[in-house]
Chains A and B, each alone.
Chain A
Amino acid sequence: MATVKNWQLDRQMDYPYEEHRPKKQWAIVFDLNKCIGCQTCSLACKTTWTSGKGQEYMFWNNVETKPWGSYPLAWDVRVLEKLGYQHWDKNKPYSGKTVFEAADPAEKAVHFNPQDEDWMYPNRGEDDCTGNVSGGKYLTLPHDNWFFYLPRTCAHCTYPACLAACPRKAIYKREEDGIVLIDQSRCKGYQECVRACPYKKSMYNPYTRVSEKCVGCYPAVEEGKQPMCVQNCIGKIRIMGFINPPWNAREDNPVDYLVHKKELALPYYPQLGLEPNIYYVPPIHANREYLIQMFGPKVEEVIENYKKIKNDPITQGLLVLMGSTDNIIHRFKVSEGSAYAFDEKGDQIVRVPVTEPLFIRTPWDEKLGVIRNNTP
């Protein structure tokens, strides 16, 4: 075991390989306050990548309703149960064990092995609320009864458990963008990655007899485009970019800005120790204890930061850039009511007004002398 730096845990941790950060690290930020669970991302991914034989129940991108939904069945609960109770004090390094540190010496990581039937209900628990909203109840923040949608892709972790567990070293992390791939020509289908990935984002294809996973839409990323799940998000809740570790964070990098500078987004289940690279703006209405379990002890602070956006034109500008372009935004700026996005070369991709101009459409049309109505 090597000792590596995990900034999400604010401490060193054990990992089977030495620390080796890629030149750039693929990352997605999701605003969970805006996800409507429409599954357009799931279908964009499915039609692009997993429409073939052996992929019938394979969703590299899925959206599950929390807390009851899960794909595969109860992945989160089962991983947390295997890891056991761990402690993390607010504003302190994580004092519990990661999946690597808590592993039996015979294993690379604490894990469970999902079975066939666990994958058969990709949208189990959809729209299930934690309880009924019965008579006399009124809305509070956070809500007494709640649910939220959790869209998930592979997190292209800095310390992937799939990569650690593969006995054939058929899984690799790309130097150029940090995307984690399974070599389709070398995998022998041992499913060690399926067992080891706590997020269960490595999947076995019974037809080809090898494992497959989200490829981060690398052909698009190589062309400077965001992945299909991001491009097709109709709620405009996602932005894909490249994240730097906090010691190299750049204020004009959209992902760095949301995660490091403004602390609006948190990695999910960081306590597992993989340094996952998908980040979430936590839903402000959901149960705090649940959110702390999922996003760590900084959740309250992050939700407070989110509430301050109404007075923060720069963050507002960045949020309107989300979903405004298919291209990867390497740099952004907000000035004089407009948000600007720039590509890797520094060329402008798009300019968006932070606040859309307001037009008031009177009910009476003077020119035509008719009453306007909304009947199409």
Chain B
Amino acid sequence: MMKKIYALMVVSYLLWGQGLWAEGLIAKYVKEDLSKLNLEALFWKEVTPETIQLIAQPMVAPRPQKTLTEKLWVQVVHNGEWMAFRFKWKDKEKSEAGPLGKFSDAVAIQFPVKEKEVPPIFMGAKDSPVHILHWRAQYQKDKEKGFQTMKDIYPNMNMDMYPLEFANQYSHDEMLKKITEEQREVFVSGKSAGNPQSFQKIKGVDEMMAEGFGSSSVIENTRAEAQGIWQKKGKEGEWVVQISRPLALEGGSILKAGQKSFMAFAVWQGGEGEVGCRKSVTMTWVPLIIEDKK
């Protein structure tokens, strides 16, 4: 029964969505430096935000029971070298993860990788990869305030000592004083395994490749930039996030002025327990028309 309802939702969404986005989003050409993040830049006022309809991710469990983010407002500009996206969506609270059981607000854009091939919308498929830029409020906190230590996450916590950290200014043990951070991190399994989750997110945004659900892997040293701000609006609140990327990201997606590509979007409301597959997504690729340079 549930499957039938989902199928019906998906079909009606596709019919409706296709009509709405037949023309696609236009990436307007501007002359400003887009590698610098500026959420209030004047050019944003000249680009009409397009409304993108999202739906609770319906394909794989665990999935959300209802669509928490129905609308995502998107603006796109480029300057021939860089492309910038400005997102806006309603979210009544700012969620930056941290403690156990708390998740982060987030937004992601997905691009096809291979030219002239549109991969399956749900994060691609084997040999049909997608390229993703994933901004998280949690990563942004990293960028602004540094990697979140236990003391940052739990300001009132107290801990006698961690392994190899008992050397202090009064210690006479020269051996212990020489112990490096790397040696201490042997006891921090995420870090010692080299998991990108366990290190500071300097850019506030992750660049990833994926070949299907659950297969995303982070590309090191991304050139993308991101900045977000949550603001209260009456009883509601909203996120405004800018993600900027070079048009050509080697090893990822290559966009060119005057050409057409595709995008897909996803939004997570961390405060409502959304994480991973629990997200609101676009169900069809949204055409991206990149204006030629003037």
User: Considering only CB atoms, which chain A residue lies closest to B189 in the complex?
Assistant: A184
A169 to B277, CA, bound (A): 12
* Contact A167:B213 (CB < 8 A) given known A53-B150, A187-B195, A210-B195: yes
Most chain A beta-carbon neighbours within 10 Å: one of B63, B103, B159, B190:
B190
Q: A52-B187, A204-B101, A206-B99 are in contact. Are A184 and B273 (CB under 8 A)?
A: no
A182-209 interface bits toward B, Cβ cutoff 8 Å, 1 = contact, 0 = none: 0111111111101110000000111111
Pairwise interchain contact B150-A113, C-beta atoms closer than 8 A: no
Partner of A187, one of B65, B197, B215, B273: B197
Write the nearest CB–CB distance from A191 to chain B, whole angstroms.
7
- A169 touches which of B97, B162, B214, B273 (Cβ 8 Å): B214
Indicate whether A56 sits within 8 Å of B157 (C-beta atoms), given known contacts A51-B162, A188-B276, A207-B188. yes
Q: Which of A262-289 contact B (CB under 8 A)?
A: none
Contact present for A191 and B149 (CB under 8 Å): no
User: Is A116 within 8 A of B102, CB to CB?
Assistant: yes
Query: Is there a chain B Cβ closer than 8 Å to A376's Cβ?
Result: no
Distance of A113 Cα from B103 Cα, bound (Å):
12
Are A184 and B193 CB-contacts (below 8 A) given A167-B213, A204-B101?
A: yes
Give the residue of A51, A52, A114, A206 whose beta carbon is less than 8 angstroms from that of B153: A206
Q: Is the CB of B157 within 8 A of A168?
A: no
A212 contacts which of B189, B192, B214 (Cβ < 8 Å)?
Answer: B189
Interface core residue of B101, B103, B163, B197 (most chain A CB under 10 Å): B101
Q: Are the CB atoms of B276 and A208 closer together than 8 Å?
A: no
B49 close to chain A: CB less than 8 A: no
CA distance A306 to B2 in the complex (A): 48
Q: Are A204 and B100 in contact (CB under 8 A)?
A: yes
Residue of A nearest to B161 (CB): A51
Q: Annotate B160-200 by CB proximity to A: 1 below 8 A, 0 otherwise.
A: 00110000000000000000000000011111111101100
Set of chain B residues within 8 Å of A187, measured between Cβ atoms = 190, 195, 197
The interface bits of chain B over 16-28 (1 if a CB of A lies within 8 angstroms of the residue's CB, else 0) are: 0000000000000
Whether a CB of chain A sits under 8 angstroms from the CB of B41 is no
Q: Does A105 contact B (CB under 8 A)?
A: yes
A31, chain B: closest CB distance, angstroms: 32
Is the pair A52, B163 in contact by a Cβ cutoff of 8 Å? yes
Say yes or no: A210-B150 contact (C-beta < 8 A), given A105-B2, A184-B193.
no
A54's contact among B101, B188, B195, by CB below 8 Å, is which? Answer: B188
Q: How far is the CA of A185 from the CA of B191 in the complex (A)?
A: 8
Judge whether A210 and B61 touch: CB under 8 Å.
Answer: no
Specify the main secondary structure of chain B where it touches its partner.
loop
Residues from chain B with a CB closer than 8 A to the CB of A99 are: none
B90-127 CB contacts (< 8 Å) to partner A? 97-103
Contact in complex: A190, B188 (CB < 8 Å): no
Q: How far is the CA of A15 from the CA of B231 in the complex (A)?
A: 44
B195 touches A191 (CB 8 A): no
Q: Do B61 and A108 touch across chains, with their CB atoms under 8 A apart?
A: yes
A268 CB → nearest B CB, Å? 24
Closest to B197 in A: A209
B190 x A208 contact (CB < 8 A): yes
A134–B63 CA distance with the chains assembled, in angstroms: 52
Tell me the nearest residue of chain B to A52, going by C-beta: B187
Question: Which residues of A sit under 8 angstroms from B97, Cβ to Cβ?
Answer: 209
With the chains together, A167 CA to B260 CA distance in Å?
Answer: 32
Q: Mark A56-81, 1 if CB is under 8 A from B, else 0.
A: 10000000000000000000000000
Contact present for B61 and A107 (CB under 8 Å): yes
Decide yes or no whether A106 CB sits under 8 A from chain B: yes
In the complex where A51-B163, A167-B214 touch, is A209 in contact with B198 (Cβ < 8 A)? Answer: yes
> Least Cβ distance of A206 to chain B in Å?
5
B3 within 8 A of A: yes
A204 to B101, CA, bound (A): 8
Q: In the complex, A115→B102 CA distance in Å?
A: 8
Chain A residues with CB under 8 Å of B237's CB are: none
A52 adjacent to B62 (CB under 8 Å) = no
Q: Are B61 and A206 in contact (CB under 8 A)?
A: no
A322 within 8 A of B: no
Are B162's CB and A107's CB within 8 A? no
- How long is the Cα–Cα vector from A212 to B191 in the complex, in angstroms? 13
On chain B, the residues within 8 Å of A146 by CB distance are none
Q: Is B275 an interface residue (CB 8 A)?
A: yes
How far is it, in angstroms, between the C-alpha of A85 and the C-alpha of B174 when the chains are bound?
62
Smallest beta-carbon distance B60→chain A, Å: 7
> Across the interface, do A167 and B187 meet the contact criterion of CB distance under 8 Å?
no
- Whole-angstrom distance from the CB of B106 to the nearest CB of chain A? 12
**A205 surroundings in chain B (CB, below 8 A):** 189-190
Is B80 interfacial (CB 8 A cutoff)? no
- Nearest to A105 among chain B residues (CB) is B2
Q: Are A106 and B102 touching (Cβ within 8 A)?
A: no
> Which residues 203-258 of B have a CB within 8 angstroms of A?
213-216
B195 touches A185 (CB 8 A): yes
A191 lies within 8 A of B150 (CB): no
**Which of A106, A115, A204 is in CB contact (< 8 Å) with B62?**
A106
Beta-carbon contact of A107 and B62 below 8 Å:
yes
Given contacts A106-B64, A190-B277, 19 further A-B contacts (CB under 8 A): A52-B187, A53-B150, A53-B187, A54-B188, A167-B62, A168-B214, A168-B215, A168-B276, A184-B190, A186-B195, A204-B100, A204-B101, A206-B150, A206-B153, A207-B150, A207-B153, A208-B195, A208-B197, A212-B189
Residues of chain A whose beta carbon lies under 8 Å from any beta carbon of chain B:
51-54, 56, 104-108, 113-116, 119, 165-169, 183-192, 194-196, 204-210, 212
Complex A-B, nearest 10 residue pairs according to Cβ-Cβ distance, in ascending order: A208-B190, A190-B276, A52-B187, A184-B193, A185-B193, A208-B198, A168-B214, A105-B2, A210-B190, A209-B197
A-B contact pairs, 13 of them (CB 8 A): A56-B157, A116-B99, A116-B102, A169-B214, A184-B189, A184-B195, A185-B195, A189-B197, A206-B98, A207-B153, A208-B195, A209-B97, A212-B189
